[in-house]
């Protein structure tokens, strides 16, 4: 549903079935932003964010968490790992789209 909603807002959306597929796709697709859930198969989103931010080739790509994990320590951990933002489910699509546009716009200015 999120894919359809973001595409309706004009975003080009690519999907990765798990963290391993995301890492492999980063070498080809070069996204402007990565949306991650914390609870994923193969590797959790926190560890995947850490791996992305430690990789010189990918660390510039903003990561935004969208997760059902809503405890303050979860949100803090995501931000400390380098995420640009952290949204809890259910996500307010209007707020998410506005924030994605802000982040992508900031990247274009760098």
Q: Domain of 55: which CATH number?
A: 3.40.50.2300
Q: pLDDT tens for residues 52-108?
A: 999 999 999 999 999 999 999 999 999 999 999 999 999 999 999 999 999 999 876
Both tokens assigned to 28: 């080809």
**108 within domain boundaries:** no
Q: Which of 82, 75, 21, 72 is nearest to 50 (CA)?
A: 82
**110 within domain boundaries:** no
Q: pLDDT tens for residues 19-62?
A: 889 999 998 988 999 999 999 888 899 999 999 999 999 999 99
Q: Say what the pLDDT of residue 57 is.
A: 95
Domain that holds residue 90: 2-99
CA distance 27 to 86: 24
Confidence of residue 110 (pLDDT cuts 50, 70, 90): low
Q: Say what the pLDDT of residue 108 is.
A: 66
Q: Say what the pLDDT of residue 107 is.
A: 73
**7 within domain boundaries:** yes
Structural domain count, the chain? 1
CB-count burial class (<10 Å; 0-12, 13-18, 19+) for 17: exposed
């Amino acid at each position: 549903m999120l894919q359809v909603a973001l595409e309706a807002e004009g975003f080009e959306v690519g999907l990765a079935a798990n963290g391993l597929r995301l890492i492999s796709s980063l070498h080809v697709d070069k996204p402007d932003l990565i949306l991650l859930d914390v609870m994923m198969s193969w590797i959790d989103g926190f560890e995947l964010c850490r791996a992305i931010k430690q990789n010189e080739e990918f660390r510039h790509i903003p990561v935004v968490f969208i997760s059902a994990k809503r405890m303050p320590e979860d949100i803090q951990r995501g931000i400390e790992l380098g995420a640009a933002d952290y949204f809890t489910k259910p996500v307010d699509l209007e707020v998410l789209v506005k924030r994605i546009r802000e982040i992508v716009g900031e990247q274009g200015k760098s």
